[in-house]
Amino acid sequence: MAGEAKIKEEKKAKNVADPQEATIDTATQEMIARAQALGVETVFDRAVTMKPCNIGTQGTCCKNCGMGPCRLPLPKSGIEGEDTRKGLCGATANTIAARNFIRMIAGGAAAHSDHGRAVAEVFMSAARKETDAYRIKDPHKLRDVAQWLEVETTVEVDGETKDRDLDELAVAVGEKALAEWGKPEGEVLFAKRAPEARYEIWKKQGVVPRNIDREIVEIMHRTHIGVDQDYKNLMKQGTRAAIGDGWGGSMLATELQDILFGTPYPLASEANLGVMKEDMVNLVIHGHEPVLSEIIVAVAQKPEMVEYAKKKGAKGIQLSGICCTANEVLQRHGIPLCGTFLQQELAIITGACDAMVVDIQCIFQNLANVAKCFHTKLITTHPIAKMEQDNVIHIEFDEHHAFEDAEKIVKLAIDNYENRRTEVMIPKQKSSIIGGFGVESIEYHLGGTFRGSYYTLNDNIINGRIRGIGGVVGCNNARTKHNQGHIEVVKELIKNDVIVLTTGCNAIACAMEGLLTPETAGVFCGPGLAEVCETVGIPPVLHLGSCVDNSRILLAAAEVVKAGGLGKDISDLPAAGSAPEWMSEKAISIGHYFVASGVYTVFGVTLPVSGAPVFQKYLFEEFEKMYGGMWDLEVDPVKHAQKMIAHIDKKRKALGIDKARERVMMSMEDRMRLEA
Ligand code: SF4
Ligand code: MSK
């Protein structure tokens, strides 16, 4: 113990992270320690030396014009009487916090939606046969989506109604989808996929998005100096843009990706740094766009590529993923998850990463500095996401010569295998997982045999075996212990019979912790949820994909409403949302479209609203009156989950199904299993 304390003291003095305090994951701890031994700095160390700005954390620093930054910290004693704080132009704390908040929504919605646009463009190229790298893999979903986009799916031929030709239909869908970003009139068509009652609320509040881009641009206009100065009116626009993300840009991205690359169905794989292999070429793919990674997966599996790797002395090619690209290639191909957002530098620090290929979003600029210390080739591929460091290789990916680009990348990794110069140290830890759930597979597993809907899921919620649904999503944040919030929140929920739908880095954290297996149910779940999971053979935590795939959670919720017995709207459901370790603007946009869709949503770590108590109250309390959903912040993971459960119970009571739950009897065996 004395030795351990001494090491902690030394780390403090050196201003580096204490691995045990930085993460709950032992593989991550090992790699942080290795990085420190090699003198390589990681995000965990920078979190020790770089402290966050207090006023920024409170959300009350404005730099929207050259007279600022104007900083309005909350006085330590709080506000007594009138809040007289103001910036040079007179902007109040509420205005500044609201402007900052909706600019975060704009950033997040733009990231998701611009990704969606890129998918739609590739979809168009494929539909027009301008590329042979992609083709329609899910014609059934194409027809379904066509209907929501108001595209005719049938034609009249000689007085007979026939299905429209698939290629022709794909072009029409692509054109209609692309128009959603900038059409001059009308409204985002997928808004009508929400339950009717929800759509009516949006209509009444005047927040149905007109087109995806316009709502983002209007946020930038309204938050310019001297425009919108009413925090409620600012939030109205934030809400419209967030809905345009969740029910627009993100949903289009997910649907078009499914049509093009295949709708995911459950499959087995593994997770954590231990999926890398010492005797194989390790190619790690990182970012968010499956447009590139789909082709890399295809190329890396070609026999001639594997042969080429063998010629270079490796046993084969091991692909693995970081962040949401990882989730994309897991859910469609079973490619293992290498790690979360905070593990990206660590994959290189193993000394076994022959190439890391990145596209867009969540990519640390410091990867280039870490790669310099090893043999790793770092390859950027996207015209909008380059790095300034000279050791970074840029191979621009273009769907018109997708295979050539992917071959170049895979070959680069293979050729680099023999250049490893540091001792390889891959942590042993990895967990078995089942990933790749979606709206369709939930229906398949939990649907009624005859009704073909979410009937059985609803029935189990009504009878109380399943207490409710938790959507737990989002990033890691180096300001809090890596994965601790994710895992404690999820474990507390499933212990209390709340089934969890997960995406993003929460999904990866749960995977690493071994929570994505059906066997988990018997160990960690309450008896009701355990019984359901064991009967149908699903994990209690369902991996639904990447950040943009949060739209799957919205559609699953809409299906639950449609199946009946649980109210008329998403806000009636015994359900709650959570992002225990969020960090990105995308998470704020996601959080807000959950709230605007009627979901009580709790964030961990911090929220940049505490410096404007009136604005915070508006989000945390008054929003519920308008939308049925509202924000909350809870740093303690167990309390965080308990707040979600309390909300779920409140909804059960309102639905009159709280008594049903009381009648769920626990057997002795159930109790023993729970206690274990
Ligand atoms: Fe200051 Fe107003 Fe300019 Fe913001 S917009 S920096 S509050 S003067
Ligand atoms: S990757 S946005 S850290 S979930 Fe989608 Fe993870 Fe958050 Fe990036």
Mean pLDDT in the chain?
94
Cα 617 to the center of its chain, rounded Å: 26
CB 347, CB 313: distance < 8 Å: no
Please say if the pLDDT value at position 305 is more than 60.
yes
Into which CATH architecture does domain 431-655 fall?
3-Layer(aba) Sandwich (3.40)
- Tokens representing 113 are 């939606």
pLDDT confidence of residue 2: 59
Ligand number, closest to the Cα atom of 62: 1
Q: What is the mean pLDDT of residues 249-263?
A: 97
Q: Tell whether ligand 2 has an atom less than 6 A from the beta carbon of residue 586.
A: yes
More confident call, 1 vs 537: 537
The CATH number of 273-419 is which of 3.40.50.2030, 3.40.50.720, 3.40.630.30, 3.40.50.150? 3.40.50.2030
Residues 6 or more apart whose Cβ sits within 8 Å of residue 58: 73, 74, 97, 608, 609, 610, 611, 612
pLDDT confidence of residue 69: 97
pLDDT confidence of residue 676: 41
Give distance in angstroms: CA of 209 to centre of ligand 1.
Answer: 28
CB 548, CB 442: distance < 8 Å: no
Q: Tell whether ligand 1 has an atom less than 6 A from the beta carbon of residue 68.
A: yes
pLDDT band at 315 (very low <50, low <70, confident <90, very high): very high
Rounded to a whole number of angstroms, the distance between the first and last alpha carbons of the chain is 29
pLDDT confidence of residue 665: 54
Note the helical H segments in 564-636: 585-596, 613-617, 623-627
Q: Tell whether ligand 1 has an atom less than 6 A from the beta carbon of residue 64.
A: yes
Q: Does domain 93-261 have CATH number 1.20.1270.30?
A: yes
Q: Which of 55, 63, 70 to mutate to test the pocket of ligand 1 (most atoms within 8 A of CB)?
A: 70
pLDDT confidence of residue 674: 42
pLDDT band at 672 (very low <50, low <70, confident <90, very high): low
Give the three-class secondary structure for 465. coil
Please say if the pLDDT value at position 219 is more than 80.
yes
Q: What is the mean pLDDT of residues 449-454?
A: 61
pLDDT confidence of residue 13: 66
Please say if the pLDDT value at position 144 is more than 50.
yes
Q: Tell whether ligand 2 has an atom less than 6 A from the beta carbon of residue 291.
A: no
Please say if the pLDDT value at position 124 is more than 80.
yes
Q: How far apart (Å, rounded) are the C-alpha atoms in residues 563 and 567?
A: 10
Residue 380's alpha-carbon distances to 294, 307, 359, 665, in angstroms, are 16, 26, 6, 56
Q: How far apart (Å, rounded) are the C-alpha atoms in residues 521 and 504?
A: 21
Residues 616-628 have pLDDT tens digits of: 999 999 999 999 9
pLDDT confidence of residue 636: 98
- Tokens representing 381 are 């591929």
Where do you find CATH 1.20.1270.30 in the chain? 93-261
Please say if the pLDDT value at position 675 is more than 70.
no
Residues 41-71 have pLDDT tens digits of: 999 999 999 999 999 999 999 999 999 999 9
Residue 197's alpha-carbon distances to 183, 254, 373, 385, 585, in angstroms, are 25, 24, 57, 40, 28
DSSP summary character for residue 181: T
Where do you find CATH 3.40.50.2030 in the chain? 273-419, 431-655
Q: How far apart (Å, rounded) are the C-alpha atoms in residues 512 and 444?
A: 26
Please say if the pLDDT value at position 673 is more than 60.
no
R_g of the chain, CA atoms, integer Å: 25
pLDDT confidence of residue 664: 64
pLDDT confidence of residue 400: 87
pLDDT band at 442 (very low <50, low <70, confident <90, very high): confident
Q: Tell whether ligand 2 has an atom less than 6 A from the beta carbon of residue 324.
A: yes
Give the three-class secondary structure for 487. helix
Q: What is the mean pLDDT of residues 236-246?
A: 98
Residues 354-367 have pLDDT tens digits of: 999 999 999 999 99
pTM, two decimals, is 0.95
CB 464, CB 662: distance < 8 Å: yes
